[in-house]
Chains A and B, each alone.
Chain A
């Protein structure tokens, strides 16, 4: 649904993105991650037809971004980082204007506004001037304009930036509801958000692709085994031998400080058996946490160019 091949953008001598190739399947929600100035906004601007690329190809909804720019623009709903609002308009008249420039037929304009208002939860502020509504509602209005023509692809640049925690949750829930209906690409700094909302990520740094895939695939490719850290009320010399004996799938077991590290190949899950073994030995489990890198660790390792294991 969204595909780029060797996409490159240079501003004079400055390389904003270099040879970026990735693919997002239809109906999925994909995150575009990267530190500041990584090239996230530039990538989104190229996909939306706002900026031309220096080299490479990009297609959205089956249309070439550079050859069929108008069809691409018709298929995309875009929320730029700065929410594009006209403060002097009411929410309703603003959505009406966007519907007109997005070529929604006059006969369907009212229904399109009603639908966008309903999806984005804008009923309470529908008739109010945009300058008088809260930041959260402004963000929702920005998302509503991106959905007004029921596009196949929705591109959201930092959709929760500057919002309070309650508003962030509302917007995340809203984006999650798009799954299956729209293909979504969103950029974010907030890793927890990406983990919660997205099916997969494209991670870029200094304009180059660092990694791309579902979070699980990335976690797998950056660590050989799945596993847990286990903290018990006591650690004796026999415990490792016991685990090795009772957990045939175990690939590695070691004591690290006060914790025991247990690893097994991806695809298995020995957690229930670990619990059972501990109960049999009357060992009290104080803590059990996944060995797989959390998204922050994963991100930092990928962005810093850390080697895959």
Chain B
């Protein structure tokens, strides 16, 4: 069995034998269900009102009125909740002294990082998968466009993968899980507000800040536009997080 998968399995056991995974998944599902219900309720009200006027009635679009705002809401919830998923990945190993077991085993640091990251991605998939169940009902009772819907979830997954990449880096820096979560949350927030700063910036700065912001790249996906630059952004962000994690672990040993 691949050592990466062995570590992933071990991490999943840790997630699901502690309350963390259950609480995170339950709260995420609850909040996403609440937002979905509210948006569908609001959509119904709007649809009823607009049905009086054939012109407006044609403008009704469930993807734009329900899913796009839902995905934006879920992206903020991910920003709040994923630091809790990533906080223990390395912090816990350091605190328990088990990092020494991993690093003295014939397993490379890259395999350890990938194993842990994969487990966190599986938790993320479980969060998104469970939250998607009620939204599937709209395909039974309505006719949303599937492409923007699927791209929206792909966007959430990529966004989450980038968040977790940053989270695993912070967890490699400290043995305190709370510190790890707060640093992850703080730095994610910083990337979030970059787009606000971009409004007041001019020229090249505006472009750079816009490019760095998580949510600028998310907009297109929720509208059903698949731009490779967005994919590259999220994947390179996640990769950069993993690369920094590797550097931190190696630096600590070689200093």
Contacts and interface: CB of A to CB of B under 8 A. Distances in A.
B53 interface: no
B104 A48 contact: yes
**Size class of A's contact patch?**
20 to 34
A101 B105 contact: yes
Candidate in B6, B98, B105, B253 with the most chain A CB atoms within 10 angstroms: B105
Contacts of B253: 50-52
Contacts of A101: 3, 6-7, 102, 105-107
A173 interface: no
A185 to B, nearest CB: 14
Contact of A76 (B96, B100, B104): B104
Contacts of B96: 82, 84-87
Nearest to B252: A51
Given A86-B10, A101-B3, A50 B103 contact: yes
A97 B13 CA distance: 11
Contact of A100 (B1, B100, B101): B1
B132 to A, nearest CB: 29
Main secondary structure of the interface of A (DSSP, over half): loop
Interface in A17-45: 45
B100 A102 contact: no
B3 A100 contact: yes
B104 A50 contact: yes
Contacts of B106: 70, 73-74, 101-103
B138 to A, nearest CB: 39
Contacts of A89: 10, 13, 17
Given A50-B100, A80-B97, A82-B97, A88 B17 contact: yes
A87 B104 CA distance: 20
A85 B14 contact: no
Given A11-B255, A48-B104, A88 B6 contact: no
